[in-house]
A and B are shown apart, each in its own frame.
Chain A
Amino acid sequence: MGSAPSDGAAQSPLAAFKILIAGGFGAGKTTLVGAVSEVRPLHTEEALTSASVGHDDLRGVGSKTTTTVAMDFGRITISGQVVLYLFGTPGQERFWFMWDELSYGALGAVVLADTRRLGDCFPSVDYFERRQVPFVVAINCFDDAARYDPEDVRVALDLGPRVPMLLCDARQRGSAKEVLITLVEHVLASRPHEGPGAVVPA
Chain B
Amino acid sequence: MSAGDKWLDRSAGPVVRPYALTGGRTAPAGGEVLDLIAVVVATRQVTGGRDGLSPEHRRILRLCQRPVTVADVASDTALPVGVVRVLLSDLTQEGWITVLPQRPADEQPSADLLKEVLHGLRAL
Contacts and interface: CB of A to CB of B under 8 A. Distances in A.
B16 A64 contact: no
A48 B117 CA distance: 39
A188 B3 CA distance: 51
Q: Is the interface of A mostly helix, strand, loop or mixed?
A: mixed
Nearest to A105: B105
A64 B19 contact: yes
Interface in A142-199: 173, 177, 180-181, 184-185, 187-188, 191-192, 194
A118 interface: no
Interface stretch (A80-88, A109-117, A119-127): A80-88
Interface residues of B, number: 55
Specify which of B14, B41, B108, B121 lies most central, judged by the most chain A CB atoms within 10 Å of its CB: B121
Interface string B66-105: 0111011011001111110000000000000000111111
A66 B19 contact: yes
Contacts of A9: 110, 112-113, 116
A92 B9 CA distance: 11
Contacts of A69: 11-13
A82 B100 contact: no
Contacts of B12: 46, 67-69
A188 B14 contact: no
Interface in A43-91: 43-48, 52-53, 57, 60-62, 64-70, 73, 75-76, 78-79, 82-85, 87, 90
Contacts of B41: 13
Contacts of B6: 57
24 contacts: A9-B112, A12-B100, A12-B103, A13-B39, A14-B39, A14-B69, A16-B69, A42-B71, A42-B81, A44-B81, A45-B83, A61-B3, A64-B19, A65-B4, A65-B15, A65-B17, A66-B80, A68-B18, A78-B116, A82-B116, A85-B37, A85-B71, A104-B105, A187-B114
Given A40-B72, A184-B121, 9 more contacts: A13-B41, A14-B100, A16-B37, A17-B109, A41-B75, A66-B80, A84-B121, A87-B36, A104-B105
Interface of A: 7-9, 12-18, 36, 40-48, 52-53, 57, 60-62, 64-70, 73, 75-76, 78-79, 82-85, 87, 90, 92, 101-102, 104-105, 107, 173, 177, 180-181, 184-185, 187-188, 191-192, 194
Which 8 residue pairs of A and B lie closest in terms of their CB atoms, listed nearest first? A78-B120, A105-B105, A16-B37, A68-B13, A67-B12, A40-B75, A14-B67, A44-B81
